[in-house]
Structure 1
Amino acid sequence: MNTNSHYKLKHFIPWTRTKIYKMLILSIIPTLLFCFLGWTWLAIPWVPVALLGTATAFISGFKNTQTYNRTWEARQIYGAIINSSRAFGIMVKDFVRTNDKTEESKLHKEIIYRHFAWLTAMRFQLREIKSWENVKTRSYYREYLQYYKVPEWESSISDELKHFLSEKEFNYILSTKNRATQILATQSEHLRKFNEEGLISDYNYVALENQLKDLYDQQGKCERIKNFPYPRQFTSINLYFTNMLCFLLPLGFLGEFSKMVEKFGENIIWLAIPFSVLLGWVFLVLEQIGESTENPFEGNPNDVPITQITRNIEIDLREMIGETDLPPALQPVNNILM
């Protein structure tokens, strides 16, 4: 997530410079052929270009709206995880009770730390790279990685989980495929055990289990966004329409500016190049922005900041159980917060 008021041009222009290069090539070649080889047939009427531009603008707007909705839904889900985690922390603190306060604090810590393990497993699973994601396949993303780091790519899940789980649970969880799911299952198993031992009343036990169910619901929503890409047919048609438009734009501008030769002279033809580059860049950037928004957990600078959210939840819950040695809140690096 970018925490600045907007992207600076010194970042945005390099991020999109391949689009500028592409439009320069597409506009310079037909202009040279038109001017020096007399290929006047390259000039086409503006009407088909305008019609294609209208269709491209429509499909680009549709894609950007839908990809933004995916990102906003992902942020809403993590907002619900924040609320459910806080509620779970309060319930654990007030519902799990023993006569021995030291033992009670130990049980609270065990349950809360297991919840930290779930949050950790979740963010590592969501940062796994899928075949349709762009962050490590697109050159504009690979270059932008110099400005920020993705914590889940800098460490391993085993190094982080070992701080929150017992050795037995740690070894079991690492042997499973969906670790977040099995951590919640283990949490439920321990809550049932506490209920059988009389440490949690039946009513409170049901309330805690409902909180686990809610966490499962939020996890499932995250997995739906992560594991189901923006439909490839819409991605493809947007890409095809945009590229066709960029190819025809210089030809349409040649047609328009050739009509002005008698009034302004032959040099006016060269204006086809900057106008084509500018308008083509607009459409190509719209396509690139939609592409950079469609996968809100992939590790790009426009992601939902799940690492920072997880750290804030950890700080809140540690304070709830009386800890004072708290981890620091994550701060933006070059205005990027992961």
Structure 2
Amino acid sequence: MHSGKSYKISEFLLWTRRNIYITLIISIVPVLLYQLAGFTWIAIPWTVVSLLGTATAFIVGFKNTQTYNRTWEARQIWGAILNSSRTFGTMSRDFIDNSDVTKELVYRHFAWLTALRYAMRDSRAWETSSKTYNKEYQAFYDIPEREKSIESELEKYISPDELKYILSTKNKAAQLLSLQSKTIKEIFVNKDIDSHQFVEMHRMVKEFYDHQGKSERIKNFPYPRQFASINSFFIKLFCILLPFGMLNEFDKLNDSIEGIMKGQMVWLVIPFSVLISWVYTSLEQVGESTENPFEGSANDVPISQMSRTIEIDMREMLGETDLPPALQPKNNIIL
């Protein structure tokens, strides 16, 4: 997540520069053929290009709206995790008189947050963080889940026996919640909590399962490939045809121009074609980077920061003072 006022234009140009290079080549070729080789027949009516551009603008806008909705839903899910975690911490402290058991539940919850965020950072075939322009931009910020192993993080919160068991499971976060449920049952059987408290604490475990399932749904179900593909096809087609449609329009300007530019107006097709194409390709790239809110891109939901915030809040509830520092942005990017 970008935590500053905005991206700098230099950052944006660096991120999208490959599209600029490609559209520059696409624009130069038809102008050379038209102006120098005399192939004036390659020009196509502007109406054709404008209709295609309108259709492309609609589908690009639709995709960007839907991908933003995916990111916003992910933010809402993790906001709910944060609120539910604080409630669970309060219950664990106030319902249970045994401080060791309270700490066990709270620290296992930290382990659940850790396992869940590591699962969310796993790569999927449809994600784009491995694309050159995204991979290159990762040098500007830190991805905590790529810097430390999940084993080294989990061992801070759970016993060696539990760690060994959890590492052997496929869905580590789900199994940690299962252990929470088992511990809560044991507390109830030992009469350390009453039936009402038992129900309330189990309800919190159910809430965490619900939050996890919602988060996994976004992670494991991509933006529909048919929409993503047609969006990409339309933009490529539009960028290729755009300079061909602008040739006649700029050539007509020669009739009303005097001086050094008379007869040379067609060359302006190159910069204007690159500019318009850059707008469309950049919108496509922005939508693509918003599509998967957990993949480790600069526009991700900051689940690592939120997990650290939860840990600080819950450890303060336990009266601890030796707290981990809050995660800080690097170049205004924080995950």
Give the TM-score normalised by the residue count of structure 2: 0.98
Q: Structure 2, unaligned stretches of length 5 or more?
A: none
**Which residue of the other structure, out of 287, 291, 294, is the alignment partner of 2:291?**
294
Give the counterpart letter for 1:277 in structure 2: V
- Residue 124 of structure 1: aligned partner: 118
Q: Structure 1, unaligned stretches of length 5 or more?
A: 98-103
Report the Cα offset of residue 262 of structure 1.
2.9
Q: Secondary structure in 2 aligned to 1:266?
A: coil
Report the Cα offset of residue 43 of structure 1.
1.0
Note if contact 2:89-2:317 (Cα within 8 Å) is conserved in structure 1: yes
Match status 1:163 vs 2:165: no
- Residue 81 of structure 2: aligned partner: 81
Match status 1:213 vs 2:206: yes
State the alpha-carbon separation in 2 of the partners of residues 221 and 329 from structure 1: 26
- Residue 6 of structure 1: aligned partner: 6
1:272-305 deviation line (CA, Å, top 9, x unaligned): 0011000000000000000000000000000000
State the alpha-carbon separation in 2 of the partners of residues 171 and 255 from structure 1: 71
**Which residue of the other structure, out of 102, 127, 136, is the alignment partner of 1:133?**
127
Q: Secondary structure in 2 aligned to 1:90?
A: helix
Taking every aligned residue pair, what percent have the same amino acid on both sides? 56
Q: Secondary structure in 1 aligned to 2:23?
A: helix
- Residue 135 of structure 2: aligned partner: 142
Match status 1:337 vs 2:330: no
State the alpha-carbon separation in 1 of the partners of residues 184 and 190 from structure 2: 10
Aligned residues: 331
Match status 1:113 vs 2:116: no
State the alpha-carbon separation in 1 of the partners of residues 85 and 248 from structure 2: 62
**Which residue of the other structure, out of 189, 194, 197, is the alignment partner of 2:187?**
194
Give the counterpart letter for 1:231 in structure 2: P
Report the Cα offset of residue 149 of structure 1.
1.5
Note if contact 2:93-2:102 (Cα within 8 Å) is conserved in structure 1: yes
Report the Cα offset of residue 5 of structure 1.
0.6
State the alpha-carbon separation in 1 of the partners of residues 224 and 329 from structure 2: 32
- Residue 272 of structure 2: aligned partner: 275
Q: Secondary structure in 2 aligned to 1:131?
A: coil
RMSD between superposed Cα atoms in Å? 0.7
Note if contact 2:45-2:245 (Cα within 8 Å) is conserved in structure 1: yes
State the alpha-carbon separation in 2 of the partners of residues 214 and 312 from structure 1: 19
Q: Secondary structure in 1 aligned to 2:264?
A: helix
Report the Cα offset of residue 167 of structure 1.
1.3
Give the counterpart letter for 1:92 in structure 2: S
State the alpha-carbon separation in 2 of the partners of residues 140 and 303 from structure 1: 16
Note if contact 2:107-2:158 (Cα within 8 Å) is conserved in structure 1: yes
**Which residue of the other structure, out of 172, 175, 184, is the alignment partner of 1:179?**
172
Q: Which runs of 4+ in 1 moved over 3 A?
A: none
